[in-house]
Amino acid sequence: MSDDINFTSKTAADVVLKTEGDVSGGQHFGAGIDCDSPKLLVECHKLDLSGSAALASAGFNPALKRVPQMDVVSVPLNKRADFVPSWKPRRIPVKCIGLTLPEGLAFQPPAQPNETSSDGIVLNKPTPQKKPERLDENGKPQRTRVKPPPNALSLQDRLFYLLQPPLESWLAGQELIMPFEPFPYQYEGIAWMFARHSALLADEMGLGKTMQTITGIRLLLRSGQVNRILLICPKPLIPNWQREFRTWAEELPIVTVEGSGARRRMLWTMPGVPILITNYESMTRDLAEFSEEDAPKFDLLVLDEAQRIKNRDSRTAQVARGISRRRSWALTGTPIENRPEELASLFEFMEVIPAHATPDLRQLSALASEHILRRTKDLVMKDMPPRIDRDAELQLTDAQQYTYRTAEKEGIIQLNELGDSISVQHVFELVMRLKQITNYDPLTNESAKLERLVADMEEVAASGAKAILFSQWTKTIDWLEERLQQFNPLVYHGGVPTKKREPILKKFKEDPNANIILMSYGTGAVGLNLQFAHYVFLYDRWWNPAIEDQAINRAHRIGVTAPVIVTRFICKDTIEERIDRVLREKRELAEAILGEGDNDNISLGMNASEIFGLFDLKKRTPKGAAQSIGPVRPEAA
C-alpha cells in the first residue's frame, strides 16, 4: 500500500455539439438536429485534469499497516436441511383375500431311489416305459388343468380347483406313482371327475373308466376333499376292482364288505377306512338294517355298472339314493339300454333332478352335456388297433334246416291257436327255441356255426392267438366244450364257482395251449380285461347290442396290441336275421340324447311289439307303453 495516492488524468475532452445555422439560438454541450437540413456539428475542447492527492498525517496511519487478527470458530451443520418439509408419501392400504387348502392325506413314504441292491451289486429297478412328452401348439408340455365346475359359485371353491397342479405333474411320480402314464383323454376324464359332485362317466367300454375313477378318488383323498368312499359294483367285479386298486393306487387301503352279517355290520361302521367296496345285493340288504341315525355316511358314493339302478322304483335304486353322501359318481358304458327314462333314474341318483322328475328329451340332453362325460374309441383312441367286425352269415345244415322249419311252423300254428290269450312270453319261448336250433340241431348235433368256428379256430390256434366265445346259454357252452377239445377250451359262466373263476382267467392268459375261452354274456361281458385275446366270436346274439359290445370290449380295450376281429354268427333266413334287422334300426335314439361322437355301440333292446312283429303277429296287450320282454339283462351270476 502507498502513502500517496495520485489521480492523474492525461486528457479530457469538452465536447460541444452544435447545429449549423440558426436553430433556436444554438447550444453548447448539446446536440441539435435541424430538421430541414440535418447536419450534426461536433466541437471538441481539451481540458487539463492533472493534480495530486496525498494523505494527511493524522496519526492513525500505522494502524493501517497492522495485520488483522483472525480467529477460527467451528459452527456445526444441521444433518437435515431445515427447509426440507418432513412429509412422507401415504402408504396405500392393501387388503387381502385368503384361502387355505386342506392338507390332504398322506399314504405313502417318499419314493425310494430307483435302485435295488443284491450281493453288493446295485441294479436299476425296471420302470414302466415313459410315453414321449406331449407338447401343445406352442411347443410347451401339454398340461391338463382342473377346471372349476359350473356350479361352483363361491370364489374360494373356484380358486381351489384353479390352484391344483396340472394332472401331468401331479401324477408324474412327484407324489403319486402311476404304473403307466394315462392317455390324454384319461387325464381329461380324471380332471372332469375330480371337479364334480355329480358325475356320470359313460366312456365306451375299454377306455379305462376304472382307472380314471381310481385316480380321481386318489386325488380327492390326497387333496383332502374326501375321507370316506363307498364303491358299489356287481359281485363278480369285486376282485377286478381290488386288482385295479392294487395296480393304480397300491397305497390306498380298501376294505371289502363281506362275510357274516355281524362282520359286515362291523365293516360298514368301522372308522378310519377310506374306501369300502361292496356289491349291490349286500348294499341293498345291509343298509336297510341301519336306522337313519346309525346309517353310514360317505363323502363319495361310486356306482359301477350304474345301469343296475336304471329302474328308479327298484329296491336297489331306492337304497342307493338313500345313502348319505356328498358326491355321487356313476359309471356305465351303457347309460341308456332300453329307454331314455333310465337316464332320468341315474340323474335322480346323482341328485341333479328332483325325485320322480320326468325330464323330456331336450332336458335330458341338456343335463347330459353338463353331467355326463362320454368318449368313444373312435374319437380318443385313434392309435388303438381297430376292431374289425364281420358278420358271418351262415346257411343252416340240412338237418338244422329241417328241424328249424318244423319248429317254426308248429310254433306259429300254436301261437295262432292261442288267440287272444297269446302273451309275449309265448312268442318269446318260440324265439328261444328257434335260436337254440340255429346253434345246433339237438337231434343230430349238426351245427353250421360249429363248422365255421372250428375252421376259424384252426387258424387262430395255428397263429398262437387266443379267442373268446360268447353264448347266451350255458348249455350251448358245455356242448361246445366237448367239441372243441383240440383247442383246450376253458369254460367261464355262471355255473362256475366264484373261487375258480380267477384261476381260469389266469390259465387262459398264461397257458399257450389254451386257445379259447367259452363265456356266457352274463358272467363274462363286464369288467374283465382280456385284451390279449384278438378274436371274439359271438356264437349267438344277445337281445341288446350294447351288451354284445360290452362283451367284445373285454378284448378290444386299452392295452390291445393288435386288431380285434369280431365274428358274429348269423344264420340266414332265420329268426337271428330278423332280430338283427330290428336292432340295427334302433340305434339312433341313444345318439340323439348323448350327442355326436357316439358310435353305434349303444342301442335299444327289443320290446314286446317288436317281438310279436318277428312272426308278423300283432301284440294283444292293452294299449300303453311298450312292454319290454326278453331275458333278464345278464347280471353277473
Partner 1 sequence: MSKDGHSDKLRLGFIATVEVEGRGCVGGLLVTNSNGRPLEFQCTTPVRPDRTQEILYGKMLRPWLLGELIGKTLLDRVSIKPDIVLTCDPDLLELRNHTSTPVACTSEDSERYGSGGRVTSSSEELGGRRLRFHLGHEDDSKFVKQQLHLIPGQADLEEPLERVQQALNETVKTVMTR
Give the residues lining the site for partner 1 (CB under 8 A). Answer: 89-92, 94-101, 103-104, 110, 141, 143, 145, 148, 155, 158-159, 162-166, 169-170, 172-175, 222-223
Nearer to partner 1, 81 or 96 (CB): 96
What is the number of alpha carbons within 13 Å of residue 507 lying toward its C-beta?
Answer: 14
- Asked if residue 630 lies in contact with residue 604, where contact means CB atoms within 8 angstroms, the answer is no
- Smallest distance, partner 1 to C-beta of residue 221, A: 13
User: 3-state DSSP call for residue 419?
Assistant: helix
Between residues 130 and 572, which has the closer beta carbon with respect to partner 1? 130
Nearer to partner 1, 113 or 622 (CB): 113
Rounded CA-CA distance 64/107 in Å is 105
Strands 324-331 and 297-303: parallel
Q: How far is CA 431 from the centre of its chain?
A: 42
Shortest Cβ 186–partner 1 spacing (Å)? 19
HSE (CB half, 13 Å, CA atoms) of 212? 32
* Amino acid identity, position 256: T
The residue (of 59 and 98) whose beta carbon lies closer to partner 1 is 98
Cβ 116 to partner 1 shortest distance, Å: 20
Nearest-approach distance from CB 161 to partner 1, in angstroms: 10
Of the pair 66, 91, the CB lying nearest partner 1 is at 91
From its phi and psi, is residue 485 left (phi > 0), alpha (psi between -120 and 50) or beta?
Answer: alpha
> What is the gyration radius of the CA atoms in the chain, in angstroms?
49
Q: Return the HEC string of 443-492.
A: CCCCCHHHHHHHHHHHHHHHCCCCEEEEECCHHHHHHHHHHCHHHCCEEE
Give the torsion sign (CA, 311, 312, 317, 319). negative
Cβ nearer to partner 1, comparing 223 with 328: 223
Q: Which is nearer to partner 1, 111 or 443 (CB)?
A: 111
Rank residues 30 and 141 by Cβ distance to partner 1 and give the closer one: 141
Q: CA 240 → CA 210, 211, 236, 336, 490, distances in Å?
A: 9, 11, 8, 24, 19
Shortest spacing between CB 336 and partner 1, in angstroms: 36
The answer to whether 205 touches 545, Cβ cutoff 8 Å, is no
| Pick 163 or 562: Cβ nearer partner 1 | 163
In terms of CB distance, is 71 or 103 closer to partner 1? 103
Please tell me whether residue 16 adopts helix, strand or coil conformation: strand
In the complex with partner 1, the residue whose CB is nearer, 46 or 88, is 88
C-alpha to C-alpha distance for 575 and 427, rounded to whole angstroms: 12
CB of 96 to partner 1, least distance (A): 5
Give min distance, CB of 150 to partner 1, in A: 14
Angle between the N-to-C axes of helices 315-322 and 280-287, in degrees from 0 to 180, rounded to the nearest 10 = 70
Matching residue, cell 318260440: 430
Least separation, in Å, of the C-beta of 169 and partner 1? Answer: 6
For residue 245, the minimal CB distance to partner 1 (Å) is 22
Cα dihedral sign, 177-183-186-188: positive
Closest distance to partner 1 from the beta carbon of 273 (Å): 24
| Residue 115 dihedral angles phi and psi, to the nearest 5° | -140, 155
- Strand 121-124 vs strand 115-118: parallel, antiparallel, or unpaired? antiparallel
What's the closest the beta carbon of residue 159 comes to partner 1, in angstroms?
A: 5
Distance CA 275, CA 290 (A): 19
Q: Which is nearer to partner 1, 148 or 386 (CB)?
A: 148
If you count them, how many residues does the chain have? 637
Q: How far is the CB of 250 from partner 1 (least distance, A)?
A: 19
Alpha helix stretches (DSSP H) within 514-627? 521-524, 545-552, 575-584, 588-594, 608-613
3-state secondary structure of 274: coil
Q: Helices 341-349 and 361-371: crossing angle, nearest 10°?
A: 40
Minimum distance between the CB of residue 92 and partner 1, rounded to whole angstroms? 6
- Beta carbon nearer to partner 1, 105 or 465: 105
Decide if 234 contacts 635 (C-beta within 8 A).
yes
